[in-house]
Amino acid sequence: MLKEEISSLIKDEIISLIRDRRAQIGVIGLGYVGLPLAVEFAHRGFTATGFEVDAGKVARINAGESYIGDVPSGAVKELIAEKRLRATTDFKNLAACDAIIICVPTPLRKTKEPDISYILAAAGEIKEHLRRGQLVILESTTYPGTTDEVLLPMFEETGLKLDTDFLLAFSPERVDPGNPQFQTHNIPKVVGGCTDDSTEAAATLYGQIVNQVHPVTSARVAEAAKLLENTFRAVNIGMANEMARLCYTLNIDTWEVIRAAATKPFGFMPFYPGPGIGGHCIPLDPHYLSWKARQHGFDSRFIGLAEEVNSRMPEHVVTLVADGLNDDRKALNGARVLLLGVAYKKDIDDVRESPALSIIDRLRAKGADVRYHDPFIAKVSFDDAHTLGHDNAPLESVELTDEELRAADCVVIVTDHSAVDYRRVTELAPLVVDTRNTLSGDLRRASRARIIRL
């Protein structure tokens, strides 16, 4: 049999299993990306197994309990009862999976270089149990070249060959936690394989659970597309943040400027300033792209400048607080400052890379008595990465009572959670710094508090 015929045979076998819903799906990593993905496959008639190193998460999933806000516990419980979904810490079960999807974190080292150790650990488990007839897909955000330069050689060390024995592709995750409008099924999926057969099989797999699949010519293109998406946002948010600082200096309303510019029906896309950028994607992903650029002698100056501007926003917020207190003849040192929200975005329970951590640290370093309220985050802890060498004691969320608001010298809206009664905040607090444009014109006009906006 010719090599081309063997290649087509393995692809056709995998696609047949997928289309008949007989393919066993394995998802490594049951976090914000992996759990919704596994649940979606199970909903569509596949049998999905989630692989986790955290035994606590595995126990909760198998008990029918979700720890991810976008995945209802009822849905997990139903799928567990139907034996469509299960979780395990035993990676030997990878051998039974026909399609394996890697959804593990890709953080940065302290040097801001890519840390793909979680990918390597997951790939090591797959390598140990790799067999003929499997499709492996990487979803974790990484630098261009990871799939075919790192994973492919690892898997072929087993003696199995790409296209002949297994298929390999990259499809970037596009999860937006807390967004009820866009979830797994209605977010277009970019897919790029190490070969055409890998692309076709991976596209067929995702086509069973999402409305639109966009195949590209290689895994490298798909890897680069993901980094472009988030670098685009980081750069434009950086521009909005720099504009906000300039407008503050010029005593101009930043938000009115943006609203006015956004009336142009072409050539302008509104981005909005904030207290800084957070989450796992936007603060980190551009560094994966700039690191890869440096390996080839290319200086990605836009990325570096955007990171510099965005990282200074917590400092700017502290300046707003200090200026506001100063106008009331109060010092920041010894002032009681109440932060509303510490999650990196509204209505979620995630503090990864949240600018609130940096704001708290800077306020503490200047002697402020800092407290916070967040209906989603009961406690925040600080390590050396989030402190300036000052107080790093953990904080617990306080109840948002009338007494708490009145006692604050300044209230800072860092995360605009929907559950907060902002009218009450403006009626009771003497000074409010609004970093999210949360307070509408009516609220500002009726406010008893003095309001400073970003």
Q: Which residues are catalytic?
A: 281
Determine what percent of the chain falls in helix, strand and coil, rounding each to the nearest 5. 45, 15, 40
The span from the CA of 142 to the CA of 9, in Å, is 30
The span from the CA of 131 to the CA of 424, in Å, is 61
Strand boundaries in 179-313, DSSP class E: 189-193, 213-215
Nearest CA to 130 among 164, 105, 107, 104?
164
Strand boundaries in 60-125, DSSP class E: 85-88, 99-102
Whose tokens are 């100056």? That residue is 301
The span from the CA of 290 to the CA of 43, in Å, is 38
Q: Return the bridge partners of 396, or none.
A: 379
The span from the CA of 41 to the CA of 93, in Å, is 17
Half-sphere exposure of 286 (CA within 13 A, CB side): 25
The span from the CA of 263 to the CA of 292, in Å, is 38
Contacts of 225 (CB under 8 A, 6+ apart): 172, 190, 216
Q: What are phi and psi of 156, to 5 degrees?
A: -75, -10
